[in-house]
Amino acid sequence: MSKTIAKRSRKVKILATLGPASNSPEMIEKLFRAGADAFRVNMSHGEHATHAATINAIRQIETKLQRPITILCDLQGPKLRVGTFEGGKAFLKHGQHFTLDSNPEPGDDQRAYLPHKEIFAALDKGQRLLIDDGKMVLRVLRPGETEILCSVEVGGFISDRKGLNVPDSLVPMAALTDKDRRDLAFALDMGADWIALSFVQRPDDVAEARSLIGGRAALIAKIEKPAALASLEAIIELSDAVMVARGDLGVEMAPEEVPVMQKRIVETARRSGKPVVVATQMLESMITSPSPTRAEVSDVANAVYDGADAVMLSAETAAGEWPELAVGMMDRIATQVESDPGYAARVHFIETLPDATTADALSAACSEIANTVRVSAIVCFTLSGSTARRVARERPSVPVMVLTPSRETARRVGLLWGAYPVVTRDIGSFEEMIGKGKRMALRHHFGEAGGRIIALAGVPFGTPGSTNVLHIVTLTGEELKGYKG
């Protein structure tokens, strides 16, 4: 098997979740070669030792293939659950009364323990409680400090420690539990590039996590609670990226509302210039089947047409029988969509107005120039990654080659639409910028002799946020002669 890997022909990124079916070094490499650009480590399952082995395996593959690989560690967040039952389960009939209380004794068909005192104070009459991913629905008749009397709107069997969702109320709980804090410290020590924050309800949740991260990783806010939608713009502003986490969002909202909210979240993130990931059940049937349903293919395609930065595979690669095929299928769907002659018009349905800064103006100009003058790539020099984010926000018609001396920056931009990161030595002059831009474009096959690229950088070099130089460069082919690195 070749040590190198060809550059991707598509711009949307694929984020693959690792788990028992895929966390061996051999399978991780197969998934990367099949099209995965980034890997998600789910902190809800497994021990730190297992996660450490997985992360170390990714880094070894990164060294072997000489390509930056993005690692996202996804924090579990608070999980609301009911207590246990006599005999392990009970059957609730439609229309009966049922009580959730603060008594830790095992429950029956009349009552159950609710080990979350915060919920008692948060509920009002008429609000819903969803159990086991919405398979059962309770309606609050009488809230109280120690007892919540409910009517059963959708009955069935309820068993030990089933999950509970509270869709109609802002639950006064922090997004970070003690477990999350331990997992966060571990992820940062392991060099995770992105941290995904679950159970985000309010901007303060993001601010707390950002403070704990302290700049050691980028932060992605998972939008999975209806309460978060009320403060969506503020949450996006405080985050480095957002994820449309359709799993819990689909439980707590009516199914027909989820596609509308997905469009809204993607559009809002894109206007803000923040990366956005669409996740959950994208190729769900491929957990057990070697091929997806037509509806799933259309679901992935719609996310690509909307201009999402990344699409995510969950159980399909973490626990499914066909992880490599699932990645390959997502890669082919995205490639096919981006080759559609109508793709450019569809992906630009959002008007992203640049801020009144030189950096934004030049980034927007890159996209316009690429549509007017035949160029093969936009080559941007960046220390922090901000230049790359500005360029990607415009969804240019050509790839964005990101040259940076920071390996951390190269890994973080791995979730960015159209970005191809390369770690290279820093530059010190305009002439060096032009020479290096030419060499890297030729070396990584982003152009050929006689073609042109756009070079974007900031002067003085090495100063974050100083993007102020745009130059159209002609490739001669002479740049690689005698070049050693």
Sheet holding 452-458, edge to edge: 419-423, 400-404, 378-381, 452-458, 467-474
- 3 state DSSP class of 133: coil
**Catalytic residue selected from 222, 225, 393, 411:** 222
**Catalytic residue selected from 81, 179, 216, 346:** 81
Q: What is the largest CA-CA distance in the chain?
A: 82
**Catalytic residue selected from 10, 11, 13, 40:** 40
First to last CA, the chain: 23
Rounded CA separation 415/412 (Å): 7
Q: Are strands 156-159 and 89-92 parallel, antiparallel or unpaired?
A: antiparallel
3-state secondary structure 360-420: HHHHHHHHHHHHHCCCCCEEEECCCCHHHHHHHHCCCCCCEEEEECCHHHHHHHHHCCCEE
Residue 135 carries which side chain, given as an amino acid letter?
K
385 in Cβ contact with 409 (< 8 Å): yes
- Say whether 40 is catalytic: yes
- 3 state DSSP class of 119: helix
**Catalytic residue selected from 99, 280, 352, 467:** 280
Residue 312 phi, psi dihedral angles, 5° rounding: -120, 140
- 3 state DSSP class of 269: helix
Rounded CA separation 64/66 (Å): 6
Rounded CA separation 64/2 (Å): 10
Torsion of CA 129, 133, 135, 137, to 10 degrees: 10
Torsion of CA 132, 138, 140, 142, to 10 degrees: -100
- Say whether 54 is catalytic: no
Strands (E) in 110-267, as ranges, are 111-113, 128-131, 136-142, 147-154, 156-159, 164-165, 194-197, 218-223, 241-245
Strands (E) in 30-171, as ranges, are 38-42, 70-74, 89-92, 97-101, 111-113, 128-131, 136-142, 147-154, 156-159, 164-165
Residue 300 carries which side chain, given as an amino acid letter?
V
- Say whether 146 is catalytic: no
Chain centroid offset of residue 48 CA: 21
- Say whether 81 is catalytic: yes
136 in Cβ contact with 155 (< 8 Å): yes
Sheet holding 111-113, edge to edge: 111-113, 97-101, 147-154, 136-142, 128-131, 164-165
Positions marked catalytic: 40, 81, 222, 280
